[in-house]
Amino acid sequence: MSRLLASGAVAVLSLTLVSGVQPANAVRATPDGSFPARLELPDGFQPEGIATGAGPTAWLGSRADGDIYELSLRTGEGRTISEGPGTPSLGLKHDRDGRLYVAGGTSGTARVIDTETGAVLRDIPLATAPSFVNDVVLTKGAAWFTDSNRAQLYRVDRSPDGEPATIATTVPLTGEWVQGAGLGGNGISTTPTGHALLVVNSTSGLLYRVEPATGVATEVDLGGASLTMGDGLLRHGRTLYVVRNRANEIAVIRLSKSGLTGRLVRTIDADDLAGTTSFDVPTTVGRFGSRLYLPNARFTTPPTPTTDYWVTEVPARAGD
């Protein structure tokens, strides 16, 4: 993602459910039952993050005002389920209990939203300015957030039943981590064993394996492959999808079990897309079944209230 910027009683804090309007050009499933290759978002939405879940459903965050939009991957129909706070909603992850974890960009916060009601269950301060909370991954015991402005991660503990804590712990990135100038840590995932984290540095193009307990980072040996412009990460087994936003492609990495080495096996680009859709600076990626879904942030297009935005579908098998 780029720089642009308690149960029960808690649930009553923000029960506003906003009935968004389905885009006029929303695409429904094709007559043969296949899913649409292009799914329209509301004009002016400015998408950044995406998370997928059963339904089949995706949730997207707006970097303009933080709105959360729920989208049917089968029909293209959608609605705004939670109004934003006026600050960005960037990286997203969805857990099995219907909680959506949201990286808050320049707000320096993390939010947790109930996707059934739109209620904000948690609004957790992570850092003061200048911070840029960019992406999030869920592990068994925590939610982990990156900060592209600072060489550190934020850990929000989760109870055995998945309930998030109300405070966060800062974990500095040490070891071989080099912050550098420009955007630093961006997309985040886990290693195939689940024992460590993977974080991409957008500017240097390096991928790091990070020990959660200590923050010690080790550069992943990619055999010379560069991940500059690396944005959202998604791991499926030992396959790591790395969205390279302004390059309009997905780098597909085959990882070792430890996550200390990997090799670039191919890229997914415009040649892999159906003729009805395109890439225009995709930022993050979600997966449903054998399909990948990427919101197009269109960073090179000046945003207006009428600028169109969409989600691009591409077969995951193109990179497996």
Cα 18 vs. chain centroid, distance in angstroms?
Answer: 22
Over residues 175-185, mean pLDDT: 95
For the chain, the domain total comes to 1
Please state, in angstroms and as integers, the Cα–Cα distance from residue 72 to each residue in 7, 37, 198, following that order: 26, 12, 29
Please report, for the domain that includes residue 134, its CATH number. Answer: 2.120.10.30
Is 235 a member of any domain?
Answer: yes
CA 47, CA 41: separation in Å to the nearest integer?
A: 8
128-148 per-position pLDDT tens digit: 989 999 999 999 999 999 999
pLDDT of residue 112: 98
| Strand 99-103 versus strand 109-114 pairing type | antiparallel
pTM: 0.90
Is 3 a member of any domain?
Answer: no
29-67 per-position pLDDT tens digit: 444 457 899 999 999 999 999 999 988 999 999 999 999
Is 2 a member of any domain?
Answer: no
Closest-CA residue to 184 (of 173, 171, 175, 170): 173
Task: Give me 184's structure tokens.
Answer: 């630093």
pLDDT of residue 14: 33
Contacts of 95 (CB under 8 A, 6+ apart): 101, 138, 162
Is 116 a member of any domain?
Answer: yes
CA 99, CA 93: separation in Å to the nearest integer?
A: 8
pLDDT of residue 15: 28
Residue with tokens 């642009």: 4
Query: What 3-state DSSP class applies to 187?
Result: strand
Pick the range with the lowest mean pLDDT from 162-171, 297-306, 310-319: 310-319
What sections of 13-91 are H helices per DSSP? none
| DSSP element (H, E) containing 314 | strand 309-315
pLDDT of residue 29: 43
Is 1 a member of any domain?
Answer: no
Is 33 a member of any domain?
Answer: yes
On the question of a cis peptide bond just before residue 130, with omega within 30 degrees of 0, the verdict is yes
Provide the pLDDT confidence category of residue 319 given band limits of 50, 70 and 90.
Answer: low
Provide the pLDDT confidence category of residue 23 given band limits of 50, 70 and 90.
Answer: low
Domain that holds residue 80: 8-318
Contacts of 261 (CB under 8 A, 6+ apart): 220, 221, 222, 223, 255
Is 63 a member of any domain?
Answer: yes
89-135 per-position pLDDT tens digit: 999 999 999 999 999 999 999 999 999 999 999 999 999 989 999 99
Q: What residues pair up with 252 in beta bridges, in sequence order?
A: 241, 266
pLDDT of residue 318: 55
Q: Given a cut of 50, is residue 18 above it in pLDDT?
A: no
Q: What angle do CA 234, 265, 242 make, to 5 degrees?
A: 25
Provide the pLDDT confidence category of residue 310 given band limits of 50, 70 and 90.
Answer: very high
